Structure 1
Amino acid sequence: MKEVKILIVDDHPMIVEGYKNAIENMDGGDYIFKIDIADSCDTGLHKIKKASVSIGYDIILLDIKLPPSKDGKIVSGEDLALRAKRLLPEAKIAILTMFNNNYRIYNILKNIDPEGLLIKSDVDSEEIITAVKTILERPPYYSHTVNRHLRTQISNDFLLDDFDRGILFHISKGVKTKDLPNYVPLSLAAIEKRKKNLKIIFDVSSAGDQALIERSRENGFI
C-alpha cells in the first residue's frame, strides 16, 4: 500500500480535527494516510522546508486566513502556497477558505493554480474525502461554490500579486506609505501607483487608506 503524506495548515483546532478524522477514517483503497498539522504561516513553512529535504508531502491542505509569519514576509495561506510550490513542486496544493466571492476565487486560481479549491461552507466529511481522492488521482477538485462561479464566468479581470497584497498587509498594520519601501521591495512611486490602482479596484478611489483596508479585509485579502 502507498503511504500518502498530508499536511493540514489551519489555525482552527476543531476544523483540523474534523479534516483529520475524515481522512483517517476514509476507505483509502491502496492508500495509507499520514497526517501532519501546522497552525500558522511560520509552523507551516517550517514543516514544508523540513519536508523538502526528506520525503515531502503528497497533498498540502491550506487555509487562506492564517496567522502571518513573524517577519511579515508570509501574510496568508496564499503566500505559503506559493512557497510550497517552489519548495515542494511535486506536492498537490488544496486551498480551503471561507471567502466565496469572485475577487478571492479568481485570485486564488490565477495566483496559485491549486489542485483543489474548496469553500469552507461547502465542506463536510464526505466533501473532504471526495476532494482528497480526486486530488490524488485526477485533479483538480473544486467544491460546488467554486464551480458555480466558474460556470458563470468570473467577470473580474484584475489580479493582485504578492506586492499588492504586501502593500495591503503592511498598511493594515499601520505602516505609513512613505515607509512602505522598507517593507515592500518597490520604489515609493511604484507603491503609490499600486495603491491608487488598488483603490480603483476596490471602488474606494476617493477615500483614505482605512476604507481600502476595510474593503480589502471584507474581500479576504488581509
Structure 2
Amino acid sequence: MNLNVAIVDDHPLVLEGLKSLLLQTEGIEHIYTAQTGSQLGSLLALHSIHLYIIDLDLPDIDGFELIHQIKQKSPEAKIIVSTMHEEIWIVNKLKHPDIDAVVFKSSAGKYIQKALQAVLKGKKYYCPQFQKLYKEKDKIGHTPDTLDSAPTIRELDVLKAIAKGMSTHEISECLFISENTVEWHRKNLMVKFGAKNATDLVIKALSKGYLSIPLK
C-alpha cells in the first residue's frame, strides 16, 4: 500500500530530519511538509493524506485542535504526535483514541521508525519515555488535563513573567524559548487556572499561592 504522509512542524530542521527518516520507510509514496495549520490546509486541497506526523506547537493552531479537525474530515487518517512536551497532563491528554502513536522529540530518531511500522500495521505505539511517564501518572493519581492541575516549573517561569507585565517577545528572550512556546505555556496556564485573561490569571495564581508580592 502506497501512502501519502504529511509532516507538520514549525521547525525546518525537524521537518528535514523526519523527512529523511521517512524516505527509508517502505510503503510511503509521497512526503509533504507544512510549518503551519494553514499550510497543511493548502496541501489537503491538492492531495489525499493518509498519515500525519504532527507537532503540538504550531504558530496558528493548537496541535490537539488540528488533530480533531483532521479526524473529523478523515476518520481513517493515522496520527503520530512528535512533541517536546513531556508534562504529565500533556501525557494524559495524548492517550486519546484519535492519536495512533506518540514519540518525544528527545528520542524521535530512535523511535519514529518503530512508530511508523506499528501504525502502518494498524497498531498503537508509545515511545518508552511516554510509557514510563504514563505509568507514573497512574501511580500518583494525577488528572493533569483538568482544571487546577499544578503548573510545571517552566510554566511558573512564564507565569512570573506575565505577572511582571512582560510581553510574549520579552518572555521569549528572557527564558531563551521561542515565542510559540511562550504562547503554548500561556494557554496551558489559562486552562489550569480557569482564567479569562492575564489579569484574572495573576489574581488566581496569587490566591492559590503560586505567586507572592513582591514578585521575585
Query: Shorter chain as normaliser: what TM range?
Result: 0.5 to 0.7
Is 1:117 matched with 2:102? Answer: yes
Q: 1:134 aligns with which of 104, 113, 118?
A: 118
- Determine the structure 2 residue equivalent to 1:12: 11
Structure 1 residues 171-210: aligned runs within 5 Å: 198-199=192-193, 208=202
- How far apart are residue 32 of structure 1 and its match? 3.7
The code of the aligned residue for 2:119 comes to I
Is 1:90 matched with 2:84? Answer: no
CA-atom RMSD, angstroms? 3.3
Structure 1 alignment gaps of length 5 or more: 69-74, 162-170, 175-194, 213-222
Structure 1 residues 145-160: aligned runs within 5 Å: 145-154=129-138, 155-159=141-145
Q: Do the aligned residues in 1 keep the contact of 2:88 with 2:137 (CA within 8 Å)?
A: no
Change (3 A) 1:158 1:148: closer
Change (3 A) 1:104 1:196: closer
Q: Percent identity?
A: 22
How many aligned residue pairs are there?
163
Q: Do the aligned residues in 2 keep the contact of 1:122 with 1:144 (CA within 8 Å)?
A: no
TM (norm. structure 1) is 0.63
Q: Do the aligned residues in 2 keep the contact of 1:48 with 1:88 (CA within 8 Å)?
A: no
- How far apart are residue 207 of structure 1 and its match? 5.9
Q: 1:102 aligns with which of 79, 88, 93?
A: 88
State how far apart, in whole Å, the 1-side matches of 2:42 and 2:125 are: 27
Greater relative contact order (Cα < 8 A, sep 6+): 1
Structure 2 alignment gaps of length 5 or more: 148-161, 169-188, 207-216
- How far apart are residue 128 of structure 1 and its match? 1.6
Change (3 A) 1:47 1:148: same
Q: Do the aligned residues in 1 keep the contact of 2:88 with 2:144 (CA within 8 Å)?
A: no
Counterpart secondary structure, 1:152: helix
Q: Do the aligned residues in 2 keep the contact of 1:96 with 1:117 (CA within 8 Å)?
A: yes
1:22-44 C-alpha deviation (Å, 9 max, x unpaired): 11123x2xx24310111112112
Change (3 A) 1:198 1:22: closer
- How far apart are residue 106 of structure 1 and its match? 0.9
